[in-house]
């Protein structure tokens, strides 16, 4: 997929860009963007197909400016440092994380800062084929607590009533795992590494992804890297699925014996 990610760009000048973005999010959960180098342009695009969801670190318009603030990172604030961020989903500690994440680059880093993207459909398929016990453990109810004591108690992979699978993940100091799931974290990290797509964003480039399907992160960087981020919920009539279909299901313990 590393070779094909550049084919996922959407022409933002198209009159039906809302339909094209909805199609991209439905089919693959992600689209690459060009020509959005300021917060106003990002908001204009979001409002074509979604409703902005404010974040507690965002401005009143819902845009969060991600930049190294030059302070010691506290729990949940590593995004405002120059440190690396391991692939994760946003809002993992919320009962209802935002469905859509848009990110665009105002100023790239002097060095480093590449974006790390992981399709959880590929990740789940990798684990189901190679480590099915890991999938079962990471899908168990109440196997993970995200966001601290007041956060969300759930699982890494959750199957919805309509058969879709959603991913929810962070692996920092605001995540706790039950022993049966914790033993599989090295396996999960290795599978994430195998399925990571790395892209370098130039000024005005960005992406929109489905936060229930894709993990995102970044490499450490030097310089004044500045990104704009918006969370949103797609408008209902676009019927964008909230998750992904399963390619491979883990073999049952009896059939694997």
Confidence band, pLDDT 50/70/90 cuts, at residue 214: very high
Each residue of 14-24: pLDDT tens digit?
A: 889 999 999 99
Instruction: Output the pLDDT for position 1.
Output: 52
Instruction: Output the pLDDT for position 3.
Output: 54
Residue 15 lies in a domain: yes
Residue 74 lies in a domain: no
Euclidean distance between CA atoms 102 and 85, whole angstroms: 17
> Phi and psi for 80 in degrees, rounded to 5?
-100, 25
Instruction: Output the pLDDT for position 71.
Output: 67
By residue range, what is the domain housing residue 185? 5-69+81-240
Residue 214 lies in a domain: yes
Residue 138 lies in a domain: yes
As for how many domains the chain has, the answer is 1
Question: Which candidate, 195, 186, 36, 173, places its Cα nearest to that of 121?
Answer: 195
Residue 87 lies in a domain: yes
Asked if 88 and 79 count as a contact pair (C-beta separation under 8 A), the reply is no
Each residue of 136-194: pLDDT tens digit?
A: 999 999 999 999 889 999 999 999 999 999 999 999 999 999 999 999 999 999 999 99
Enter the pTM of the model.
Answer: 0.93
Euclidean distance between CA atoms 26 and 28, whole angstroms: 6
Instruction: Output the pLDDT for position 255.
Output: 44
Residue 248 lies in a domain: no
Residue 254 lies in a domain: no
Residue 224 lies in a domain: yes
**CATH number of the domain to which 220 belongs:** 3.60.130.10
Euclidean distance between CA atoms 50 and 27, whole angstroms: 17
């Amino acid at each position: 997929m590393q070779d094909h990610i550049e084919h996922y760009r959407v022409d933002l000048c198209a009159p039906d860009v809302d339909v094209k973005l909805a199609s991209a999010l439905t089919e693959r959960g992600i689209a690459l963007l060009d020509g959005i180098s300021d917060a106003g342009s990002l908001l204009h695009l979001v409002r074509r197909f979604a409703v902005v969801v404010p974040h507690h670190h965002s401005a009143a318009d819902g845009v969060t400016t991600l930049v190294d603030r030059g302070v010691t990172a506290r729990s949940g604030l590593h995004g405002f440092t120059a440190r690396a961020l391991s692939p994760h989903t946003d809002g993992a500690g919320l009962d209802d994380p935002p469905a859509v994440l848009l990110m665009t680059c105002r100023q790239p880093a002097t060095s480093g800062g590449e974006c790390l993207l992981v399709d959880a459909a590929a990740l789940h398929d990798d684990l189901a084929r190679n480590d099915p016990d890991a999938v079962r453990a990471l899908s168990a109810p109440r196997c993970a607590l995200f966001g601290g004591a007041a956060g969300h108690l759930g699982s890494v992979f959750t199957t919805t009533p309509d058969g879709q699978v959603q991913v929810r993940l962070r692996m920092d100091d605001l995540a706790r795992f039950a022993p049966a799931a914790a033993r599989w974290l090295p396996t999960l990290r290795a599978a994430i590494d195998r399925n990571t797509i790395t892209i370098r964003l130039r000024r005005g480039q960005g992406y929109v992804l489905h936060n229930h399907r894709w993990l995102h992160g970044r490499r450490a960087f030097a310089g004044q890297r500045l990104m704009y981020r918006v969370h949103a919920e797609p408008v209902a009539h676009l019927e964008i699925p909230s998750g992904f279909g399963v390619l491979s299901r883990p073999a049952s313990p009896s059939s694997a014996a």
